[in-house]
Amino acid sequence: MRLSTADQNPDHQIDALLRAGVDRENIHIDKASGAKASRPGLDLVFQLLREGDTLKVTRLDRLSRSVLHLVTLGADLRERSIGLHVIEQGIDTSTTEGRAMFGMH
């Protein structure tokens, strides 16, 4: 998950991820406001993800701040056979509809 500002409360995102079945120890937080800001938590998650895993985020804007970065991340996930579940936007690439919605074939 990503917090845009230092004073942003992470509770909403944490609660949503826990309800979606994410174990607390698998929740990683980055505090970054800009599109190019360092994302050590996201980097760690991408190192930990393995084929067949699913990356869960509350919203796409918590995963990426730019369309280009989002497209790159989506391609990486697809190539590694890793699913993406965007909880609040109802995108789940384990379904045909979710793959079409996210542009994954």
Instruction: Examine the residue annotation and report whether 4 is marked as an active-site residue of this protein.
Output: yes
Contacts of 88 (CB under 8 A, 6+ apart): 16, 58, 59
Nearest to 57 by CA among 17, 97, 21: 17
Distance, in Å, from the CA atom of 100 to the CA atom of 104, rounded to the nearest integer, reads 6
Which of the residues 4, 33, 38, 64 is marked catalytic?
4
Q: Which amino acid is at 77?
A: L
Which of helix, strand or coil describes residue 75? helix
CB 90 within 8 A of CB 60: no
Mind telling me the catalytic residues? 4
